Amino acid sequence: MSGRGRRRGFGYVRKLPSGRWQASFVGPDLARHSAPHTFETKGDAEGWLGRRQADVVAGEWRPPVPAVRVAPLTFDAYSAQWLRERDLKPRTREGYEHLMRSYLSPVLGHLVIDTISPSVVRTWWSQLPADKPTVRARSYALLKAVMNTAVADEVIDSNPCRIRGAANTPRAREIRPASIEELAVIVEAIPSRHRALVLLCAWCALRSGEVLELRRRDVDIEAGTVRVVRAVSWVGGQAIVGTPKSAAGTRVVSIPPHVLPAIAHHLETMTVTSPDALLFPGRDGVSHLQPSTLHRNWRMAREAAGRPDLRVHDLRHTGATMAARAGATLAELQQRLGHSSVSAALRYQHAAQGRDKEIAAALSAMAARESH
């Protein structure tokens, strides 16, 4: 008869309505312990009890360890782990954390990661602000990167991010480089302590973060070069010094000869003699120049030149454009600018090191021609 337990010398067996057999016994701990599964025949159930009885008699039986319930893995938990394990530059990490906090977690964070389907992703993506195309693209690209890792970790079977083109950032605004005449006006209009900064950003095509971390020891007036090995970025109002933006960003750039006197004058009159002294420090002469101070002075100078659209970073674009006009090849431009990509890396192999000085000299010749 099913449902009634049958007592044996040790333990109980019971036939279930399904026809299968269940086995249990009271252990030395006086607690009842059931087999972890049912059995097809009564003999199989009794055999399991016999083995347990032998363990008890031999003193080898131990109560089973309770199974530990593992909480379902949410997207928030996995993405936090993903960020912790990434070797990211401070500004990049800050950007990712902002996207997670503002655009991914509010909708996806509480979901168990393996329940995020393509339809869930499409709904989330459709709700991102339509007036922020760059945010939409970067948020989607970040989600796709996290999910790619989840696939590799075998947390999910496949990546649910399948919206074609969703990670493509919109075309950047058209940058109109400054003319040589406009640069001259800007250099005259900006405070004297920042003139060399503008010249290095424009004529050497340096990033502002690279220029603001330059030390006296990085400039060799005799050789006519500036060495770029560090950069400063601002995270949460704090200056963070690290390596340049990419591996190719570590480089030595030739300074155009017509700019050298202004750089030398800056070193002589506005930089302390210590090799570690910042070329462009803040008001205290020691800490980094605050971006807000630079941009306040920059805005006044660009207005004087009639270029309210020109950003500090556009000086780098201006420098690249002028170097190209001076005859630099694509490989030489990438080397001078410190750009890093697979195709650029291949071209670097063919870029002649000595050509950078020729490019710098050609820039000076071009400046002389166009200033008359």
Q: 3-class SS at 235?
A: strand
What would the mean pLDDT of 179-188 be, rounded to a whole number? 95
**Would 93 be classed as within a structural domain?**
yes
My answer on whether 271 and 220 are in the same domain is yes
My answer on whether 366 and 245 are in the same domain is yes
Quick one: which of 247, 367, 234 has its CA closest to 290? 234
The residue range of the domain holding 332 is: 180-370
Residue of 316, 317, 347, 355 marked active site: 316
**Would 285 be classed as within a structural domain?**
yes
Residue of 52, 207, 266, 336 marked active site: 207
My answer on whether 219 and 319 are in the same domain is yes
- Cα–Cα distances (Å) from 48 to 12, 45, 289, in that order, read 11, 5, 77
- Which residues are CB-neighbours of 131 under 8 A, at least 6 positions away? none
**Sheet bearing 219-220, strands edge to edge:** 219-220, 225-228, 251-254
What would the mean pLDDT of 277-285 be, rounded to a whole number? 92
- The alpha carbon dihedral of 317, 336, 235, 143 has a sign of positive
**Would 48 be classed as within a structural domain?**
yes
Does the pLDDT of residue 133 top 80, yes or no? yes
Question: Which DSSP category does 306 fall into?
Answer: T
DSSP state letters, 156-182: SSS-----TTTTPPPPPPPP-PPPHHH
pTM of the model: 0.63
Residues 354-370 pLDDT 10s: 667 777 887 888 888 77
State the average pLDDT for the chain: 88
Question: Which DSSP category does 290 fall into?
Answer: P
Total structural domains in the chain?
Answer: 3
Quick one: which of 265, 264, 257 has its CA closest to 362? 257
Residue of 6, 93, 227, 348 marked active site: 348
User: 257-268 burial by CB neighbour count: b if 16+ within 10 A, else e?
Assistant: bbbbebbeebbe
Residue 33 among the catalytic residues: no
Residues 22-72 pLDDT 10s: 999 999 998 999 998 889 899 999 999 999 999 999 999 998 877 666 678
**Would 210 be classed as within a structural domain?**
yes
Quick one: which of 137, 161, 139 has its CA closest to 149? 161
- Which residues are CB-neighbours of 30 under 8 A, at least 6 positions away? none
My answer on whether 37 and 138 are in the same domain is no
Residue 251 among the catalytic residues: no
Beta strands in the chain, from DSSP E residues, in sequence order = 5-7, 12-15, 21-26, 32-34, 219-220, 225-228, 231-235, 238-242, 251-254
My answer on whether 41 and 148 are in the same domain is no
Residue 348 among the catalytic residues: yes
φ, ψ (nearest 5 deg) of residue 69: -80, 120
Q: Give the pLDDT score at 64.
A: 83
Residue 207 among the catalytic residues: yes
Q: Give the pLDDT score at 150.
A: 93
Residue 316 among the catalytic residues: yes
My answer on whether 43 and 110 are in the same domain is no
My answer on whether 336 and 286 are in the same domain is yes
My answer on whether 82 and 37 are in the same domain is no
- Among 152, 170, 188, the domain-final residue is 152
Residue of 258, 307, 336, 339 marked active site: 339
Domain of 301, CATH number, reads 1.10.443.10
For the chain, how big is the Rg over CA atoms in Å? 34
Residue 196 CA to residue 177 CA, distance in Å, equals: 19
